[in-house]
Amino acid sequence: MRSNKHYAAAISAFVIWGFFSIPLRALKDYAAGEILYFRILVSSIVLLVIVLSFKRAKWRADWSYFMTLSNRHRREIIVLTLAGGALLSVNWLIFIYTINHINIRTASFSYLICPVLTAVFAYLLLREKLSRIQWVSVGLCAMSCLLIGLQSLVELSYSMFVAVSYALYLISQRRNQGFDRMIILCIQVIFSLLILTAFLTQLVSEIPGSERFYILIFLIAVVFTVIPLFLNLYALNKLSSATIGILLYLNPLLNFTIAFLVFHEAINAVQLFGYSVIVIALVLFNYQNFGKLMKKFT
């Protein structure tokens, strides 16, 4: 079958992200702001080295293209790129806090509903169309959120914060086209570092002195940030966004499994029903894409 390497890259990326909660939980004693700041610091250094070492020709080409745009288009690209960096900062901070101080299944739930929220935002902001069956699945998602909210408004709030911030990031970057994704990401991560540095005293009370902290941060930055991002970008060269969107569900499903089997998180009957409803909604929402994906494997 064609594109085997690209399917393997996409699956590997989402499987890696599916285990992200394990190293994060190992840093539970540290504040979310400290984890985020040093994760962004190391990631920005690694990405900058990669871009300067392997993307110099692409950087020059992107800059030449940028200079041919109108002033209005340039401002739009700058705003979308920097807004993406700010949204990533917010999303990663809330996600880390949710994993370590709320629970893993709440963080997992946010990435289950994120693709549906992204589609709704695309309808509202970009005028992209949704089919009737997709609107039915949106309604089921709303019902699922209501059920979970009745059990814990705090958990639902954090799920929505994570999902909305990442959905808005995806929508903003959908309009930010024509440039190398890795270069844009590098700029966004560096901008995120600048934002976090401005709030350094609020995020980091004292510089961690533990060698274990920095080993885990390096692991998170390289293994759970840069490598899966590379794999995801490689997969996008051949696979459609719809296919990537389906494979993305490997991430929260693995997170749910780890939450229950590794960290022994509890779930009651109403929450289980709510999660079951969201699974049905996701199957309906991606029904056509599931069919297309299955044909590629047969």
What is the pLDDT confidence band of residue 213, given thresholds at 50, 70 and 90?
very high
Q: What is the pLDDT of residues 254-273, one digit of tens each?
A: 998 899 889 988 888 888 88
Quick one: average pLDDT of 6-26?
A: 90
Contact 289, 245 (CB under 8 A): yes
Burial label for 55, CB within 10 Å (0-12, 13-18, 19+), is: middle
C-alpha dihedral sign at 9, 284, 169, 87: negative
Confidence label for 278 from pLDDT (cuts 50, 70 and 90): confident
Query: Measuring CA to CA, which residue among 107, 106, 115 is closest to residue 151?
Result: 106
Which letter does DSSP use for residue 225 in this model?
I
In sequence order, the 6+-apart residues with CB closer than 8 A to the CB of 183 are 51, 55, 58, 59, 62
Written as one string, the DSSP assignment of 78-108 is HHHHHHHHHHHHHHHHHHHHIIIII-HHHHH
Contact 182, 51 (CB under 8 A): yes
Q: What is the pLDDT of residues 135-168, one digit of tens each?
A: 888 898 888 888 888 888 898 899 999 999 988 8
> Quick check: 295 pLDDT over 70?
no
